[in-house]
Amino acid sequence: MEKYAIRGGNPLVGEVEIGGAKNAALAILAAAVMTDETVLIENMPDVRDTNILLQAMESIGTIVERVDRHTVKINGSQIHNLVISDGYVKKIRASYYLIGALLGKYKRAEVALPGGCDIGSRPIDQHIKGWKALGANVKIEHGLIITQADSLKGSHIYMDVVSVGATINVMMAAVMAEGQTIIENAAKEPHVVDVANFLNSMGANIKGAGTDVIRIKGTERLHGTEYVIIPDQIEAGTFMFSAAITKGDVTVKNVIPKHLESISAKLVEIGCEIEESDDAVRVVASKPLTHTKVKTLPYPGFPTDMQPQIAATLALAGGASMVTESIFENRFKYVDELTKMGADIKVEGNTAFISGVKKFTGANVSSPDLRAGAALVIAGLAAEGFTVVDDIKYIERGYEDFHLKLQGLGAVIERVEDDRELQKFKFKVG
């Protein structure tokens, strides 16, 4: 089983190129099948989740041509099957974006119900509410979500909770519905805006993405396009916090600083210096870190996907900090792992009470989920001695070449396949 082997203690210094946004790419890849013409997508992250989604799309007849690691041509004209098998959905819940896309284009789709995952139950009631409001019949049978509509008609939909997935999935179904759809209480994340811009480049008529009211005028058909996915806000934030936690000096390149504002603001609060330019942000952590309070919120608030990373950093900051998780109900599973490294954190309900400690010592830890795994890696980079992070398949779902990019910043980290390689690493780095 692959693991990351780390010898901590080096401040991270240098520049790192940020890749395309995973959570925009997953929806954009699914939406690309809504036309029978060819779509060219660039700056796609080469990660497990996007690769599995492309396989799911090929399984129903989508023509997928991989131009290079980050560029793919998609053509949905030969789709012959509208049932996505549960094998794919089990591996990646975002396969459910194919429902919105196929329902919008073919007026029917069947996809296995995505299970919960490590961070919470993750219902899809708001997705279903939106599709039903557009006139679709939606039923759940034998673990499948079965959707069908004679026709889809625009509707005025009020989301009960701010949901990225539901906003995107309903938006996709609505772009080819008859008439106008209004989605109230919509999610405003950068990747929601990116999906709307992508659909508009295919001939859709979406206004207001990025605000909490999205207005869509349905169109008969969509055409091919060429599109470049936005940079990944969370990959960038993870590297920004890797600078803070290791007292380093890291510049994240190919980013949109505006998308990182809440992350930069917290880094300044805990004592880092931030320098912004058009497409880069530099984080310098030369002073001892201090405590703060943070609560995760929908964009533009502090992202839930950055919660484990800031908590790990605050565990090494002076004083008492509080991290409140308001989006998911079970996103503190990494705390027990950080405790093995010497962290002093008490979780009560949806708040972690953190008492900063002087240092972490390396330990063997396991990644409970994608972002928690990334947090354990950056904690290991700051720890004294060796840390081994296993279950890194979670991390590789969303971070492309994570250990290689960290090596480029001076981290002593390798991806090892077995204990023999681990011993070799320990012997080599001493």
Q: Which residues are catalytic?
A: 117
262 near ligand EPZ, rule: CB under 6 A: no
* Window 157-176: residues binding ligand EPZ (CB under 6 A): 161, 163-166
CA–CA separation, 173 and 107 (whole Å) = 9
Measured from the CB atom, is 166 or 383 closer to ligand EPZ? 166
235 near ligand EPZ, rule: CB under 6 A: no
62 near ligand EPZ, rule: CB under 6 A: no
Q: Which of 53, 267, 283, 370 binds ligand EPZ (CB under 6 A)?
A: 370
Measured from the CB atom, is 298 or 362 closer to ligand EPZ? 298
* Window 176-215: residues binding ligand EPZ (CB under 6 A): 187
Q: What is the three-state SS of 19-44? A: CECHHHHHHHHHHHHHCCCEEEEECC
Question: Angle between the 307-314 and 370-382 helix axes, to the nearest 10 degrees?
Answer: 20
Measured from the CB atom, is 289 or 372 closer to ligand EPZ? 372
In the complex, what is the shortest distance from the CB of residue 50 to ligand EPZ, in angstroms, rounded to a whole number? Answer: 10
Phi/psi for 2 (5° steps) reads -65, 145
Nearest CA to 344 out of 376, 321, 373 is that of: 321
Interface mask toward ligand EPZ for 113-152; x: CB under 6 A: -------x-xxxxxx-------------------------
Distance of CA 294 to the CA centre of its chain: 20
In the complex, what is the shortest distance from the CB of residue 410 to ligand EPZ, in angstroms, rounded to a whole number? Answer: 26
Q: Which of 12, 21, 26, 157 binds ligand EPZ (CB under 6 A)?
A: 26
* Residue partners of 422: CB distance under 8 A and separation at least 6: 3, 5, 388, 416
Measured from the CB atom, is 187 or 214 closer to ligand EPZ? 187
In the complex, what is the shortest distance from the CB of residue 106 to ligand EPZ, in angstroms, rounded to a whole number? Answer: 22
Phi/psi for 329 (5° steps) reads -95, -5
Residues, the chain: 430
* Residue partners of 169: CB distance under 8 A and separation at least 6: 96, 97, 99, 100, 127, 130, 131
Measured from the CB atom, is 28 or 33 closer to ligand EPZ? 28
398 near ligand EPZ, rule: CB under 6 A: yes
Q: Which of 371, 376, 389, 414 binds ligand EPZ (CB under 6 A)?
A: 371
Residue with the CB atom nearest ligand EPZ in the bound state: 165
Q: Which of 94, 149, 177, 365 binds ligand EPZ (CB under 6 A)?
A: 94
Measured from the CB atom, is 99 or 317 closer to ligand EPZ? 99
Q: How far is CA 203 from CA 177, 228, 229, 261, in A?
A: 13, 16, 17, 31
Nearest CA to 311 out of 354, 347, 364, 273 is that of: 354
155 near ligand EPZ, rule: CB under 6 A: no
CA–CA separation, 176 and 301 (whole Å) = 31
- CB 124 within 8 Å of CB 144: no
Site of tokens 């930069």: 264
Bridge partners (DSSP) listed for residue 148: 108, 137
SS3 396: helix
Measured from the CB atom, is 133 or 370 closer to ligand EPZ? 370
In the complex, what is the shortest distance from the CB of residue 290 to ligand EPZ, in angstroms, rounded to a whole number? Answer: 27
Bridge partners (DSSP) listed for residue 40: 73, 226
For binding to ligand EPZ (CB under 6 A), which residues are involved? Answer: 22-23, 26, 94, 120, 122-127, 161, 163-166, 187, 304-305, 327-328, 370-371, 398
